A and B are shown apart, each in its own frame.
Chain A
Amino acid sequence: MIKLLYFAGLREALGVPAEALALPAGVDTVGTLRAHLAARGGSWQVFATSRSLRAAVNQAMAGMEAPVGSGDEVAFFPPVTGG
């Protein structure tokens, strides 16, 4: 299981702030996780189409190749705009 978090405009578009997910076979990186989520269709296709979406694994910014494994906390969000 991993913990998934969505923030800001992405959270609103998906209509869900968080979920627990059993990692399917073959999903072991941020990139493969994105493809898995995009395959849900509808508003989830943003995971395939957005070029600006950012990811963090265990609260550290992570690229597409970053490994994802059981127990991890994975977050997706738009570019940050604080300050």
Chain B
Amino acid sequence: MKYAYYPGCSLKGTGRAYEESLLAVLRVLDVEVEELRDWNCCGATTYMSFDELQSYALAARNLSMAKQAGHDLMAPCAACYLVLNKTQYYVRDYSWIGAIVEHALDAIDLPKDISAKVRHPLDILLNDVGLDSIRAKVVYPLRGLKVAPYYGCQLVRPYALFDSQRNPTSMDRVLEACGAQIVYYPVKTQCCGGSQKGTLPEVGLDLIRHLLAEAQRNGAEVISTVCPLCQFNLEAFEEQASNAHQFHFPVLYFTQLLAVAFGVPLTDAGFQRSFVSIKPILAQREIAYA
């Protein structure tokens, strides 16, 4: 199994822990990945609202290069995942968009073919690696660690074909395979506000607070995420969001929990980058870790 790896800007910045843990986990599972050479920002949702067509072109550049590399393109960031997919759909559904994109690729001597399959790590773990091989690699089971699975919006909506748009369960299953206990989390696909926290603080904070409160109400010990922006929002503003109830969750990437289970040293899985340490919880649950 080999994939072209498209980190996206966040995984090089606030989301470094995601990249570290992801790569570590894939290593354990002997999944080969190669970072896409000279990838560029996908444009995310923000560029979309500035100029949709340009953002398609930006995404297309990556897709075209991935096709050349000859592997499926692994996009861990939900926003990237969405934009890359969306681009493919639109180029397919609207010939005139296709024409523009092709023209643009032409201008930088890239092949028009942007049909590289865009995959999310969850998709890969579930459908290519498989739960059995994941179970097989577990050395330190998570022993019923109570996890709130937070998928956020853009991973499953509107394009994810590997999971339900209304009630996704892929992360649940992967984590359960590592012995974690998934708590009821009805807001698993509700929006975290994205960049709203920066632009309209009180609004963003409201959404974040709701997500944290729901996790607490359902007795979660940690929140598991699949998207760097979700992770950042929930973690960075726990304190601000705290009101009646104090929030003090480790907000992790699902890959970090896998890493624990696989016996990857915490420091290799970016735990040192968390604001809230997970160690006390692991200790309390008597979950061993490397």
Q: Specify whether A and B are partners.
A: no
